[in-house]
Amino acid sequence: MNATNRKVMLSAVQPSNTLTLGNLLGAIRNWVKHQDDYECWFFAVNLHAITVRQDPTELREQTYRAVATYIAAGINPEHATLFVQSQVPEHAELAWLLNCYSYMGELGRMTQFKDKSQKAGENIAVGLFTYPVLMAADILLYDTDLVPVGADQKQHIELTRDIAIRMNNLYGEDLFRVPQPMIAQVGAKIMSLQDPTAKMSKSDPDPNASVYLTDTDDVIRKKLKRAITDSGNEITDDDSKPGVKNLLSIQSAITGKPISGIVASYAGKMYGHLKVDTAELVVQAIAPLRDEANRLYEERTFLDQVLRKGADRARERAGKTLARCYDRIGLLK
């Protein structure tokens, strides 16, 4: 399947906690849209997930749930390679090599590390610090051209480029393909329903802040009803109204309509209308996906088959890149 000259697109999501509407609109939907234009690699990064403590049963189950959700959302495992990071040992192996070409200074400047280490308190895992290096390995193993990610991950892609260029300078321009981030214009950043200045995050402790892809229709409606809006009553696309803006961008991401058109359709209407309509659109987007994901989640034999095939394909490609690195660096293989 790799014998084409399509560009290579790769992305991944952590299987910690339950995926949210933000993951669907910001990431998974874009993957689905592009899966036939590009040669695609999509995976669940469970090795990244253990940079903070995970319950073993939860982690295993969330990994299956993530894979079931990707398939239910429309990722076709015959077209795109779908796999789980821990089943492709080349990721951990390349990460070690890259660690030796990454600098303390540049990793210390990563905003996500600064945020997460603050939250982690005293005992910060070294893995949290080298997290972006494992991510660079994820990307560089597959000769990736494009990485669709949320805006918050752009810095990690830039680091990946820096490491790749640094090693290419040492070992030859054809060692690594230098990837580019692909940040979607709309839907890249769905905000928390309870604090619309923060990104909707599956690790947010407040369950009302996120719509989970497992939420029932009633729960979705309740969460949107309780969404924080702003003072005033006019529906405008305005930075001073982050709550309203968030609901408008959710609608825009679901329907594909420009925000300006949506705003115009609310002339003279109130926040309540906007919330009810947004809730219905979210229910329509999530319900079929949720039901299908629930069904697939029980089909362990099928999921294991998909993942086995995915891992085989991934290992074949990743193994070539890794062998090239060993050879250039002078490591016996």
Q: Which of 189, 199, 223, 241 is catalytic?
A: 199
* 221-257 core/surface letters (b: 16 or more CB in 10 A; e: else): bebbeebbbbeeeebeeeeebbbbbbbbbbbbbbeee
Nearer to ligand TRP, 151 or 170 (CB): 151
Quote the least distance from Cβ 39 to ligand TRP, whole Å: 15
Q: Which of 7, 33, 114, 116 is catalytic?
A: 116
What DSSP string runs through 5-25?
-PPEEEEEE--SS--BHHHII
Quote the least distance from Cβ 112 to ligand TRP, whole Å: 7
Nearer to ligand TRP, 12 or 244 (CB): 12
CB of 84 within 8 A of CB of 67?
yes
What does the block give as tokens for 24?
């669907």
Residues that bind ligand TRP (CB under 6 A): 10-12, 14, 45, 48, 135, 138-139, 147, 149, 153, 156
Indicate if 309 belongs to the active site: no
Nearer to ligand TRP, 149 or 325 (CB): 149
Residues 6+ apart with CB under 8 A from 102: 130, 133, 136, 159, 163
Q: Distance between CA 23 and CA 19 in Å, rounded? A: 6
Q: Distance between CA 209 and CA 228 in Å, rounded? A: 9
Indicate if 199 belongs to the active site: yes
Indicate if 116 belongs to the active site: yes
Nearer to ligand TRP, 213 or 262 (CB): 213
Quote the least distance from Cβ 17 to ligand TRP, whole Å: 12
Quote the least distance from Cβ 10 to ligand TRP, whole Å: 6
Give me the active site residues, please.
116, 199, 202
